[in-house]
Amino acid sequence: MKNDKALWGSISILVGAVIAILALVRGSLQTWLLLGVFSIWGLWIVAILLLPYMRQAKKRQQRKYRLKRLYAEGIYSSAPKVPEKTDGAPVEHLLLCHVNHRISSYLRTAYPDVTWSWCEKEPERLAVYGGIGRIRVFGVPDFDHADVTVDQQANIDCSMVKIVPLSHIGAIPDEESKTPPNRQPVDPQIWYEVQGRGVLEALMADLNSRGHNRLTLQEDGNICILQDGEEVAQEHLSGFPEKTYWPRLVKVFERNGLAAEITEKSIVVTW
């Protein structure tokens, strides 16, 4: 686009110069001036418009020659084309799954029992383009978050973070503040996604196939069903939120299509 504008601009100048010479100059001087103007215009066209194209063509030719030589020597091989989808799953999700496994492996070299969840709304962008994203970590003493860095070479690094409210700095610790940072505060939504969903969905599918439509979540994390008038434990939920968080946990269940009711010592879930 810029070259087209420059070309038409130069033609306009050329036409103006030629008209001026024809109007103002007579005799042999007119011929020499016209030759000079056309010569200058031709040199300008070559220098401004044609030389860049010639240089680019030469660079492309040199690059093709270098690649051809590398192919012949077996040093360079063309990268396979990444499909847009594999088995129906978007490539971004597959890349994110791969990054998730690498982050888990990285963290478990120092904290074998760690689990974590993304704090980012679109972690797929981090997997595709790289950058820095924050995750919430569980089972890590003294830390509750980590900043994950993914560079353009697909290297991964984690910086552990502990978030402390400003109001707690310098305050006298009470019983609540003595609670380990990975348990206080508890986000019921995160707990459900990380630790609760898999256990509950698998158990409910099994119970539903055997005629059950409700279960009870005890304070200690045991999942019980009623058999012959007695509560019989089926599974155990680790890190089950304390009663303070049960109202929020009930809303999480409801958002996932389950009916939940809080009793004195348990939560009754029906489906």
Written as six digits, the tokens of 43 are 């040199």
Mean pLDDT, 10 residues at a time, the chain of 271 residues: 64 81 81 85 75 76 75 54 50 84 86 87 85 89 88 83 72 48 67 87 86 90 86 88 90 90 91 88
The pLDDT value given to residue 1: 53
Tell me, yes or no, whether 181 lies in a domain.
Answer: no
Same domain, 156 and 213: no
The pLDDT value given to residue 68: 72
Domain that holds residue 148: 85-168
The pLDDT value given to residue 267: 94
The verdict on whether omega for the bond into residue 185 sits within 30 degrees of 0, i.e. cis, is yes
Tell me, yes or no, whether 182 lies in a domain.
Answer: no
Same domain, 92 and 164: yes
Same domain, 192 and 145: no
Biggest CA pair distance of the chain: 123
115 bridge partner residues: 138
Long-range (24+ apart) CB contacts under 8 A made by 181-184 are 181/142, 181/143, 181/144, 182/137, 182/138, 182/139, 182/140, 182/141, 182/144, 183/239
The pLDDT value given to residue 71: 64
The pLDDT value given to residue 172: 47
Number of folded domains in the chain?
A: 3
Sign of CA dihedral 229, 235, 241, 245: negative
The pLDDT value given to residue 50: 72
Same domain, 229 and 250: yes
C-alpha 78: how far from chain center: 26
The pLDDT value given to residue 265: 87
**Full-model pTM:** 0.36
Nearest alpha carbon to residue 257 among 223, 185, 208? 208
Tell me, yes or no, whether 24 lies in a domain.
Answer: yes
Tell me, yes or no, whether 174 lies in a domain.
Answer: no
Same domain, 132 and 206: no
